[in-house]
Amino acid sequence: MSMNKWRFDNKSTRELPKDEEIDNYSRQVFNSFYSYAKPEQVKNPKLISFSKEVASILDLEEKDCLTEEFTKVFSGNQQLDQMNPHATCYGGHQFGNWAGQLGDGRAINLGDVINSKGDRWALQLKGAGPTPYSRSADGYAVLRSSIREFLCSESMFHLGVPTTRALSLINTGEEVMRDMFYDGNAHYEQGAVVCRVAPSFTRFGHFELPTSRGDIELLKKLANYTLETDFPHIGQGNKENYLKWFQEVATNTAQMIVHWMRVGFVHGVMNTDNMSILGLTIDYGPYGWLENYDPTWTPNTTDASGKRYCFGNQPMIAKWNLVQLANAIYPLIEDVKSLQDILESYSQTYLSGFNNMMANKLGFNVFNQESDQTLIDEIPKLLQIAEIDMTLFYRNISTLNLENNLSKEDIQVNLLPAFYKENELNDTILDKFYSWFLSYQKIFKNRNIKNDGRVNKMNSNNPLYVLRNYLAQEAIELSEKDDHSRVNELLDVLRNPYTEQAGKSKFAEKRPEWARVKPGCSMLSCSS
């Protein structure tokens, strides 16, 4: 089906209050959910990549994505008849502080497509030019950050992590000025636009802003709209249903974070404006993937001193963000106790989700507290004794046959490739791992699990291929020289992250030494 046959239902712009000002300049916008904002024309748009899976969700075939019209539409150079380009108004807590109005500063929503299954999919261009919410920034995005968003959102989907999706990655042919490390070394970089796709892009911050301004009318309209559109099974907006809704948001958020902890994903900027009301991973900026297991690691240079958003803090920060959402919707509910109970339930849902997830990573179908708790609690300690690659650790231990007697040497040979400094695997450390393995094996035998079953369980929960920071950076450097083959190769490999693929072992290796301190590989800024 071609794009021209798409049926749009722009419910949010039809039903929610609109900013009457149509000129595009930075401003505070009151009593409105959105403002008119049109993508800028770009010089020379070229399609770098597209996701055939997202195309298919939108009833497009691959050939439809290779047309000139596709590139025109998703670079922002042309709008389809029923599109209604706009930017939405939201606020947020950034690094723990209320930041006031933020809004879609470089995201332009095109409209919602209703696909042949009747599902709603909102289309959004990221980097298509300034909007009334751009504040002092330019509204554009550079190639490197667009590649990172495009590849990571698709990779997360294939890993089974709730996420917004990406349809296309287009080079605009424009130049964009960026100071990558905010150190006075600004230079021109290539511009790009990604088309993001999700059932909705509503964020916690959409609810926070009206409440902060005492605009309860707008808050209520938006909450009712969200219930009706994104949570239709709950029913209409009333106190009881708002609570049910908040409960769902809390549960979905907990589940999303469990997945992040499973695959070793660090979002990097968990501000409340970057939290999706649907519990989707959203806004791929200075995110990163854990290499050596270090719960204090964050890729975001802006957060290097406080490490607020480091790997290990993510579960707690998500709760902090839910508290902000609870405050925002409080005027609709006016019942502190019920909101607090739901916030408490977040901790329970997260904890049981985490334990089950860890049990699955070890190849158990279910978590058995009595036998598994200590075993699981030992893992973070073990993995921090030395620099040990988290992804490789889990994949490697799945290859040990626990039905056999295992010697210390077996463990040593198995673990060595996961050690960043191989000489760190000395006798003392090896002894600790060995004794952990013996307990693991004992539980395994007591439960009467077949090794095959364990391996299958492990290999469907522990990815082999993740978008390691340096892999993304290598693809970026090639693309900046007009060679997009690596972006497309990675997109393809990451489609099947749990299955070993012939000839692709180089994408499953631990980070090479040169990437340890290289910008873009180990540290990233918000400049994008």
Compute the distance between CA of residue 341 and CA of residue 381 in angstroms, rounded to an integer: 32
- Regarding 189 and contact with ligand AMP (CB under 6 A), the answer is no
CB of 527 to ligand AMP, least distance (A): 8
Quick one: what does residue 154 bind among ligand AMP, Mg ion, none, with the CB cut-off 5 to 8 Å set by partner type? none
Q: Distance between CA 193 and CA 169 in Å, rounded?
A: 6
What are the helix and strand counts (H, E) for the chain? Answer: 17, 12
Residue type for position 521:
C
How far apart are alpha carbons 229 and 198 in whole angstroms? 13
From residue 106 to residue 125, the character string flagging contacts with ligand AMP as x (rule: CB under 6 A) and all else as - is x-------------------
In the complex, the smallest distance separating the C-beta of residue 274 from Mg ion, rounded to whole angstroms, is 5
User: 177: which strand partners?
Assistant: 188
From the list Mg ion, ligand AMP, none, which binds 139 (C-beta under 5 to 8 Å, kind-based)?
A: ligand AMP
Region at 33 (left for phi over 0; alpha for psi -120 to 50; beta for the rest): alpha
Q: 131 or 274: whose CB is closer to Mg ion?
A: 274
Shortest Å distance, C-beta 103 to ligand AMP: 5
DSSP label at residue 523? B
> In the structure encoding, which two tokens stand for residue 124, read together?
């959004």
Of the candidate residues 17, 105, 160, 331, the single one contacting ligand AMP (CB under 6 A): 105
Q: Does 147 bind ligand AMP (CB under 6 A)?
A: no
- Least spacing, CB of residue 65 vs Mg ion, in Å: 26
The yes or no reply on residue 91 touching ligand AMP (CB under 6 A) is no
150 vs 127: CA distance, rounded Å: 12
- Annotated active-site residue 273? The verdict is yes
Q: Are 425 and 386 contacting, i.e. CB atoms less than 8 angstroms apart?
A: yes
138, amino acid identity: D
Question: Do residues 317 and 347 touch, judged by C-beta distance below 8 A?
Answer: no
Backbone angles phi, psi at 35, to 5 degrees: -130, 150
The residue number with the shortest CB distance to ligand AMP is 105
**Residues numbered 268-297 forming contacts with ligand AMP, rule: CB under 6 A:** 269, 273-274, 283, 285
Radius of gyration of the chain (CA): 24
Q: Does 283 bind Mg ion (CB under 5 A)?
A: yes
210 binds, among ligand AMP, Mg ion, none (CB under 5 to 8 A by kind): none
Q: Is 134 in the site for ligand AMP (CB under 6 A)?
A: yes
Q: How many residues does the chain have?
A: 528
Q: Which residues contact 131 (CB under 8 A, 6 or more apart)?
A: 24, 35, 37, 87, 103, 104, 105, 106, 107, 108, 139
Considering the complex, state which of residue 15 and residue 138 has its C-beta at the smaller distance from ligand AMP. Answer: 138
Among 16, 385, 455, 526, binds ligand AMP (CB under 6 A): 526
Name the residue nearer to ligand AMP (CB basis): 127 or 497: 127
Q: Given candidates 32, 274, 349, 360, which one binds Mg ion under the rule CB under 5 A?
A: 274
Query: How many amino acids of this chain bind ligand AMP (CB under 6 A)?
Result: 17
Separation between Cα atoms, residue 500 and residue 444, nearest integer Å: 25
Nearer to ligand AMP, 26 or 451 (CB): 26
3-state class of 490 per DSSP? helix
From 19, 59, 215, 273, the catalytic residue: 273
- The partner in contact with residue 134, picked from ligand AMP, Mg ion, none with C-beta cut-offs of 5 to 8 angstroms by kind, is ligand AMP
Among residues 135 and 447, whose Cβ is nearest to ligand AMP?
A: 135
Q: Which of 15, 138, 175, 294 binds ligand AMP (CB under 6 A)?
A: 138
Q: Which is nearer to ligand AMP, 129 or 463 (CB)?
A: 129
Smallest gap from Cβ 270 to ligand AMP, in A, equals 10
Within residues 210-269, the interface with ligand AMP by CB under 6 A covers: 269
349 phi/psi in degrees, rounded to 5: -60, -40
Stretch that binds Mg ion, among 237-245, 277-285, 432-440, 486-494 (CB under 5 A): 277-285
Q: Which is nearer to ligand AMP, 92 or 353 (CB)?
A: 92
For residue 427, CA distances in Å to 388, 410, 431 come to: 16, 13, 6
Q: Does 76 bind ligand AMP (CB under 6 A)?
A: no
Q: Which residues fall within 8 angstroms of residue 160, CB to CB, at 6 or more apart?
A: 259
State which residue, 191 or 315, has the beta carbon closest to ligand AMP. 191
With CA atoms as reference, report the closest residue to 353 among 493, 477, 253.
253
Of the candidate residues 33, 34, 70, 133, the single one contacting ligand AMP (CB under 6 A): 133
* Full 3-state SS string of 463-481: CCCCCCHHHHHHHHHHHHC
Which range, of 13-21, 72-80, 191-199, 279-287, touches Mg ion by CB under 5 A?
279-287
- Cα dihedral 92/93/99/105 (nearest 10): -40
SS3 of 48, please?
Answer: strand
Helices 239-263 and 314-333, packing angle to 10 deg: 170
Cβ-based nearer residue to Mg ion, 19 or 283: 283
Chain residues in the site for ligand AMP (CB under 6 A): 102-106, 133-134, 137-140, 269, 273-274, 283, 285, 526
Chain residues in the site for Mg ion (CB under 5 A): 274, 283
The set of catalytic residues is 273
